[in-house]
Amino acid sequence: MSVKYNLYGTAIGSLPQSDSAKAVEVILNNIPNAPIWPQLPALGMNEQMEVQYSEHMPGATIDREKERLYIATNSDEAMMEMGTDWFMAIEANDTEYFKISEEFSKGFYAMKDVLSKKSEKLPFVKVQVTGPCSFSLTIVDENKRAVYYNEMFRDVVVKTIAMKAKWQIQQYKNFADNVICFIDEPILSAFGSSTYVSVQREDVVNMLKEVIAAVHEEGAIAGIHCCGNTEWSILVDAGVDIINFDAFDFGETIFLYNDHIKTHLERGGCLAWGIVPTNSEKLAGVESDDLIVKWDALVEELSAKTGISKEKIYAQSLITPSCGTGSLPVADAEKAFRLDGEVSEKLRARAGF
């Protein structure tokens, strides 16, 4: 897929507002050319990272008293749904079965309503899903064992998330020339640690490949977001189009995988630079020009180590915050979005885009 990303600003999913209209306003005022729909965890547990994608996932059980989601792998209801409605929806590619209802995502529908009134298409619009690795390693079964270790339900997680990605793309594809779907995988920053020593690299790559393939089937662009250090070659081997990383705190880590990053860029891939910090203390001390200086140094080093021109890197880059802003105070989140937009605009102007 040959796409010019040209340093547009986009973002990760979450914002701290409890008013979906205000969240949409913040997004469109700052990153109008590649907006996202906002995940709003302040509205309650339905909009938490994993819960938001749990509708019509066999066995998914929300315990509101204990404020947790778990997968009841041994329930008759889960087995029946998996064998009938869920399975038939997968077989028929019935994405509507996997829709995210307004009860679980006020921001999805608020942004959709605003974009549907625009007369011209945007360059990009972005949707997102919780990654299958993060979901299956975070959410446990009735015995408090991570669902990842149950191969049958791990597959259920992957396929459900893939279908939710497809449904979102279908809902938003008329609003932009290109739809981006991020697969949010924060847990990959712990890959290889003692906690997840039994997690196999091949399994991780294959799980990501399946969701990426679903995104590509809809003619959309697949990105993976990881807000910490990870084995970046996993993302390249999975065939992702956009690698989104925390360039503010972990920018140098991509230099450990120069050959893979070079391959990624040479085949038309994009780097989404999370150059805007999403930590209140760090946000307080920076403005857009400071972030541009930091970004320039990273691009200079990447160009020198890979032999890829800075001009090509510019064309194949997006600008983002380093992570979601849902846990920040509203004022800090708004600053992060302002900086995101300012860095993008200044870099685009300098590059002649």
Which tens digits make up the pLDDT trace of 189-243?
888 777 787 899 999 999 999 999 999 999 999 999 998 889 999 999 999 999 9
Residues 6+ apart with CB under 8 A from 107: 15, 20, 23, 24, 37, 38, 39, 40, 47
Element (H, E) at 63: strand 60-63
Residues 53, 46 contacting (CB under 8 angstroms): no
pLDDT for 1 beyond 70: no
Looking at residue 263, what is its pLDDT? 97
Q: Which residues contact 56 (CB under 8 A, 6 or more apart)?
A: 81, 85, 86, 89, 97, 98, 160
* Record: fold of 20-351: TIM Barrel (3.20.20)
Mean pLDDT of 115-128: 96
**Separation CA 169–CA 180 (nearest Å):** 8
Residue 186 C-alpha from the chain's centroid = 9
Across 308-324, average pLDDT: 97
* pLDDT at 288 > cutoff 90: yes
Compute the distance between CA of residue 270 and CA of residue 158 in angstroms, rounded to an integer.
Answer: 24
pLDDT bin (cut points 50, 70, 90) of residue 335 is very high
Does this model's pTM top 0.85?
Answer: yes
Query: How is residue 225 written in tokens?
Result: 């977001």
pLDDT, the chain, mean: 96
Burial of residue 85, with CB atoms counted within 10 A of its CB: 0-12 exposed, 13-18 middle, 19 or more buried: middle
Rounded Cα distance between 220 and 329, Å, is 33
* Tens of pLDDT, residues 46-103: 999 999 999 999 999 999 999 999 999 988 887 887 788 999 999 999 999 999 999 9
Instruction: Tell me which residue of 43, 202, 45, 225 sits closest to 134, measured CA to CA.
Output: 225
Measuring CA to CA, which residue among 279, 340, 319, 274 is closest to residue 29?
A: 340
Percent of the chain topping pLDDT 70: 99
pLDDT in tens, 154-163: 999 999 999 9
What integer is the mean pLDDT of 322-336? 97
Query: What sign results for the dihedral spanned by CA atoms 36, 41, 43, 46?
Result: positive
Closest CA to 140 of 56, 74, 198: 74
Rounded (10°) CA dihedral 297, 302, 307, 312: -80
Given a cut of 60, whether residue 280 has pLDDT beyond it is yes
Which DSSP letter does residue 146 get?
Answer: B
Name, in order, each residue with C-beta under 8 angstroms of 91's C-beta and a sequence gap of 6 or more.
none
Residue with tokens 């919780």: 130
Question: Contact 295/343 with Cβ under 8 angstroms?
Answer: yes
Give the separation between CA 330 and CA 40, rounded to whole angstroms: 12
CB 107 within 8 A of CB 52: no
Residue 70 is which amino acid?
A: Y
- pLDDT score of 143: 94
State what percent of residues in the chain have pLDDT above 90: 92
Structure tokens at 173: 């594809």
279: exposed, middle or buried (Cβ count in 10 Å: 0-12, 13-18, 19+): middle
How many CA atoms does the CB half-sphere of 163 hold within 13 Å?
25
Boundaries of every domain in the chain: 20-351
